[in-house]
Structure 1
Amino acid sequence: MLVALIIACEVGFWVLLAGGLALRYLAGMPRLGAALLLCEPLLELVLLAVSFVDLKNGGEPSWRHGLAAFYIGYTVGYGHYTVKWLDGHAAHRFAGGPKPPGAKYGRARAVHEWKLWTRTLAGAAVALGLLQAGILYVGDAADTGSLQAWQFVALRVLGIQALVAATYSVWPRKAPAGTDTESGAGPAGTAR
């Protein structure tokens, strides 16, 4: 049941996101669209509550609980960023807004990658905290090895993201000749 709820939350996230953006930019109802977008965190609260209720009712801690913690952590770390990124692109595409800037080369790309790492850090911290809360909540009543294994997975993901960011810092990607290195814009400010 927990895996089905995680899938439902993910589908619900994208349905609410698409619906919110459609209301904002296609239907001309920006307030209703924003209200719909603000409902997205409720999905994670439902998932969190169901996970703990499952553990309270004697559910054996398993990979499903770890996956739920990861999903909630990812949403905390990247949810707002994803909504903002897609909102910027929708505003550009459907409302004549400016094209969202991108960091493709050099120092700007390295800074962007380290910002993504801080989001990963936030998500990993949430996942680690939820997993530890689950371990403490269950106590000695059940085997918590799978939850502990997910904690190590969170640390590995954080380490891999740090390596990726470090490679962009040490070996920055060079812009093609004639482009702005900070934005990736072509000659005379044309977007690529």
Structure 2
Amino acid sequence: MVVGLIIACEVAFWVLLAAGLALRYVFRMPRLGLALLLCEPLLEVVLFAVTAIDLRNGAEPDWRHGLAAVYIGFTVGLGHSTVRWADARVAHRFAGGPPPVRPPKYGRARAVHEWRVAGRWTVAALVAAALLQAALWYVGGHGDTGSLRAWQQRMLWVIGINAVIAVSYTLFPKREPKRVPPGEPAGEPEREQAKMR
């Protein structure tokens, strides 16, 4: 039941997102579209309540309950940026909005961007870990809680991987390629001139 509800929440997330953006930009009903988009967090509340009820009714805590906590955490940490990403593209395509801003590719700006992305993933993982810990306390000593602890360890990996990526862009920033002035051949000018002689 929990897995089916997670799938239903994921489908509902994208359906609400598509419907809300269509109402805002295609059908010119911005308030109704915004109301639909604001319903997105209700999906997580429903999933949280059903998971808690399932555990309270004596269900053995397993990977499904852990997956529900992870799904809620990732929606909290990444859902808003996903909605913003989609909103910018639909506004540009259907409402004459400005082109979506692409992430920077080089230097310090790229490092800052990677730290922001890592921050969102860290929030997602921490919320999931906190929900998993709440489930562990809720269940107490009853039942096998190893699968919930395993999900917590995976959340630490998520944080660690994102931190490593951000640190790598900070310590080893990608440099913008040098631009060749107009009229000058690409490559090393000295070698090109030597060949011509």
1:29 aligned residue = 29
Of the structure 1 ranges 7-16 and 104-113, higher mean CA displacement relative to structure 2 is found in 104-113
1:83 aligned residue = 83
Q: Could you say what the CA RMSD is over the residues aligned between the two structures, in angstroms?
A: 1.0
String of CA shifts for 1:55-108, please: whole Å, max 9, x gaps: 001111111111111110001101111101110111111111111222222211
Question: Equivalences for 1:6-45 in 2 at 5 Å?
Answer: 6-45=6-45
Partner letter of residue 139 of structure 2? V
Quote the Cα distance in structure 2 between the aligned partners of 1:62 and 1:141.
12
TM-score, normalised by the number of residues in structure 1: 0.89
* Runs of 5+ unmatched residues, structure 1: 179-192
DSSP 3-state at the match of 2:64: helix
Quote the Cα distance in structure 2 between the aligned partners of 1:10 and 1:175.
39
1:135 aligned residue = 136
Quote the Cα distance in structure 1 between the aligned partners of 2:175 and 2:99.
22
DSSP 3-state at the match of 1:83: helix
2:151 aligned residue = 150
Quote the Cα distance in structure 2 between the aligned partners of 1:19 and 1:109.
33
Quote the Cα distance in structure 2 between the aligned partners of 1:107 and 1:94.
33
Percent identity, aligned pairs only, is 63
Partner letter of residue 29 of structure 1? M
* Runs of 5+ unmatched residues, structure 2: 180-197
**Offset of 1:176 from its aligned partner?**
3.8
**Offset of 1:22 from its aligned partner?**
0.5
Partner letter of residue 75 of structure 1? T
2:164 aligned residue = 163
Of the structure 1 ranges 93-102 and 74-83, higher mean CA displacement relative to structure 2 is found in 93-102
DSSP 3-state at the match of 2:140: helix
Name the count of aligned residue pairs.
178
Quote the Cα distance in structure 1 between the aligned partners of 2:174 and 2:22.
36
DSSP 3-state at the match of 1:89: helix
Partner letter of residue 82 of structure 2? T
String of CA shifts for 1:28-59, please: whole Å, max 9, x gaps: 11111000000000000000001111100111
Quote the Cα distance in structure 2 between the aligned partners of 1:93 and 1:104.
24
**Quick check: 2:122–2:158 contact (8 Å CA) kept in 1?**
no
TM-score, normalised by the number of residues in structure 2: 0.87
Quote the Cα distance in structure 2 between the aligned partners of 1:175 and 1:41.
40
Quote the Cα distance in structure 2 between the aligned partners of 1:93 and 1:169.
34
